[in-house]
Amino acid sequence: MGSCEGRVALVTGASQGGTGTALALRLAAEGARVALVARTEAGLLETQARIEAIGGEALVLPCDLADPEGGRETLVERTEAAFGPIEILVNNAAVGRYKPFTEWTWDEVEQHTQVNLWAPWRLMQQVVPGMRQREQGWILNLTTFVAELPPGPPFPTALPAKLGAGYGSTKAALNRLTLSVASECDGQGIAVNALTPQAAIMTPALLEGGWIEDVWYEPLETMAEAGLALCTGDPATLTGRIAYSLQFLVEQQRAVRDLHGDALVAGWQPGDLPAVIARQAAAHEAAGWHDAYDRTSDRSRR
């Protein structure tokens, strides 16, 4: 019996074979029935087929999360009509571009804000009342290193520091929202957390592009495993976290399994990860980003 047996999950951004797809598969492998949300129906159908191939059940809900009138206001209602009360919400859908802030159009700013902040806000508003009534629920917001405050001056030369205004600002707001909702739901049986990839996630798009150096990536399986842990942990003790994926897996001593929950993933187990994290931190340091994974640092004094 899986850790999500009989539960209902809603996962956004689950159509492109990346983190949302991986989380949906991992939740389904643990027994959850999963509602899949994204703009591209064809991609959602592919994810649905992968879930059904392992004996799971999935609901396809095409929706443009950037459009307040694009269907997002009824996602919770439609999911619960088909599957029952939502116990797990994963806000994974995101828009991320890198360019100087003076070059952004207002339409681009609005799109980033709608997808990265307002859509998660609205979905959380819709699921929390039912979770409170049942005294059980898990909310996971996917965030990014780009939301972190860069040290400086002098400032790092990397893209997150120099060109991350739009993506980073909206995700930083999502992090703050996550902690606010966690605080408001504390003691009510509801866990609210955010998950940051330690480095770039090796999605199909990045594999195809071939531009990521080995030191800067982690596999989909580590994100899916960390996400599953945050979607099944004890809300009394595991809430209000903005967790880095690999650090969290080491902290929890969590074995990393494949997306079907069967085999262990070689080279990415808790004992392997400190060396990986150290290499990534050293690469950040070389680019001028000191103490990259230490959220306790006083960035303003660096």
The tens digit of pLDDT for each residue in 186-219 reads 999 999 999 999 988 876 666 565 555 665 789 9
Question: In 251-262, which positions are buried (b, 16+ CB within 10 angstroms) versus exposed (e)?
Answer: ebebebbbbebe
CATH number, domain 8-301, options 1.20.1250.20, 3.30.565.10, 3.40.50.720, 2.40.10.340? 3.40.50.720
The one catalytic residue among 98, 162, 167, 217: 167
Find out whether 75 and 125 touch, Cβ atoms under 8 Å: no
Please confirm, yes or no, whether 162 is among the known catalytic residues. Answer: no
Question: 112-170, pLDDT tens digit by residue?
Answer: 999 999 999 999 999 999 999 999 999 999 999 999 999 989 999 888 889 999 999 99
Q: How far apart are CA 184 and CA 192, in angstroms?
A: 10
Q: Where are the domains of the chain?
A: 8-301
pLDDT, residue 69, reads 94
**pLDDT of 300 strictly over 50:** no
Q: How far apart are CA 292 and CA 72, in angstroms?
A: 35
Question: 9-63, pLDDT tens digit by residue?
Answer: 999 999 988 999 999 999 999 999 999 999 999 999 999 999 999 999 999 999 9
Q: How far apart are CA 31 and CA 251, in angstroms?
A: 25
Please confirm, yes or no, whether 217 is among the known catalytic residues. Answer: no
Find out whether 269 and 256 touch, Cβ atoms under 8 Å: yes
Percentages helix, strand, coil for the chain (3-state, rounded to 5) are 45, 15, 40
Q: How far apart are CA 267 and CA 217, in angstroms?
A: 13
Question: 226-252, pLDDT tens digit by residue?
Answer: 999 999 999 999 999 999 999 999 999
Question: 245-287, pLDDT tens digit by residue?
Answer: 999 999 999 999 999 999 999 999 999 999 999 999 998 898 8
The one catalytic residue among 171, 217, 244, 293: 171
Question: 71-119, pLDDT tens digit by residue?
Answer: 999 999 999 999 999 999 999 999 988 899 999 999 999 999 999 999 9
